[in-house]
Amino acid sequence: MRATWLLAGLLFLAGCMPSIIYSLARDAPQEDTVTLASCLSESGVTFYGASWCSHCDEQKRLFGDSGKYLRYVECALPDGTQAPACAGIEGYPTWEFADGSRVAGVLSLEQLGELSGCGSAPLTFSGPGETLWASEGEEFSYALCGAEEECLGEYGDPSGGLPPYSFGSSGLPAGLELLPNGLLFGAPVQAGEYSVPVCVADAAGAVACQVLTLVVGGLESRGCSVDTDCLAEEFCEGGLCALPDMGCSADADCVLLDWQYRVPCCYAGQCGGVDYGKASVIAVSGEWLAQMRALYCPPPRQCGPAPGCPAMIVDVNYHAECVYGACEKIPGES
């Protein structure tokens, strides 16, 4: 009997050392793995392991307490033999997927998501798609995700992978900070144009990166007489070039503005169509825009009749929202 147990133990030990051991992702917090573990179970994915197998313990540690949601089969019986339910399993751990395919070895959370379909959409991050503007020594904020707490992808960027997402960056201008939820904020201390690498990671360890362009304006003021004397996204206010006011307290305080038309008077750009998806369309304070129109636009009665064309909107899949006290252009209809 002892010889039988020893032989079976050797066979199990050999099975615990598959020829391919897949690379591990970072350990994920428990709340990040509950969704994946539940999805694997609901998708018919089975995890075969043995109580004495160190590689199985390594696999379980990736899930932590969330492992209780997995469909797990213990293959090692007290007498040292293999459980009948594990017939055909040759190494531990082994994952069996809904289509009947099996993979032996320790799999990362990302690999499990891809193989099972629970995380089939790859992680993508597009970034703002426009130059970010700030002023030296002044408070600045921009929400890369639009979420006030954790980033779950509800605004469509980032997307795919396994939420929640976490942001990080190296090479931020001095005075700025990037929170894990994607909020970039602070008061930059040095003027200049910066290329800022920003990466977002999902709960399975997948990473997507973009390089953002941030222009920090200096304290020196440039004189102007009209908007075209100023840089892109700057406007002529009181004879000095300045960035538009983006302050707000509610979504209703914000509007979208195409700075290529500067302060749009009368029917500027109407016949050409308004494409909210263009990088030149930014979110500004509606009160500020009204003040600028009062300064630089003729009274409405002097605009004449509207041109013989409809007000055409090419891309309506953006709207303005108040995020952390600043107006921002957000993907999706309001």
Residue 8, pLDDT score: 34
| Mean predicted confidence (pLDDT) in 130-140 | 86
Of 171, 190, 220, the residue at which a domain comes to its end is 220
Same domain flag for 231 and 205: no
Residue 166, pLDDT score: 93
Same domain flag for 188 and 278: no
Of 254, 266, 328, 327, the residue nearest 293 (C-alpha): 266
Tokens 């004879």 belong to residue = 239
Residue 14, pLDDT score: 37
The answer for residues whose C-beta is within 8 angstroms of residue 296's C-beta and 6 or more apart is 227, 263, 265
Of 171, 205, 220, the residue at which a domain comes to its end is 220
Same domain flag for 59 and 163: no
Give me the sign of the Cα torsion angle 58, 59, 64, 69: negative
Query: For the chain, what is the domain count?
Result: 3
Same domain flag for 126 and 212: yes
Residue 114, pLDDT score: 81
Beta carbons of 137 and 219 less than 8 angstroms apart = yes
Same domain flag for 135 and 95: no
CATH number at residue 197: 2.60.40.10
Same domain flag for 34 and 96: yes
In this structure, what token pair is assigned to residue 138?
A: 């002044």
State the Cα–Cα distance between residues 170 and 160, nearest whole angstrom: 23
Same domain flag for 39 and 89: yes
Beta carbons of 110 and 73 less than 8 angstroms apart = no
Tell me the average pLDDT of the chain: 80
CATH number at residue 21: 3.40.30.10
Same domain flag for 99 and 17: yes
State the Cα–Cα distance between residues 84 and 149, nearest whole angstrom: 48
Give me the sign of the Cα torsion angle 111, 114, 117, 120: positive
Condensed to tens digits (0 to 9), the pLDDT of residues 294-314 reads 888 888 788 888 777 766 666
Count of Cβ atoms closer than 10 Å to residue 189 Cβ: 12
| Mean predicted confidence (pLDDT) in 126-154 | 86
Of 116, 147, 165, the residue at which a domain comes to its end is 116
pLDDT confidence band for 135 (50 / 70 / 90): confident
Same domain flag for 67 and 85: yes
Same domain flag for 99 and 125: no
pTM: 0.45
Same domain flag for 252 and 161: no
State the Cα–Cα distance between residues 331 and 334, nearest whole angstrom: 9
Same domain flag for 137 and 104: no
Residue 43, pLDDT score: 82
Cis peptide, bond prior to residue 163, ω within 30 of zero: no
Q: Which residue has the higher pLDDT, 84 or 137?
A: 84
Condensed to tens digits (0 to 9), the pLDDT of residues 148-191 reads 788 988 888 898 888 889 999 977 888 999 999 999 999 998 88
Of 69, 77, 98, 193, the residue nearest 136 (C-alpha): 193
Residue 275, pLDDT score: 77
Give residue 227's identity as a one-letter amino acid code. Answer: D
* Structural domain span for residue 90: 2-116
Of 234, 178, 231, 238, the residue nearest 209 (C-alpha): 178
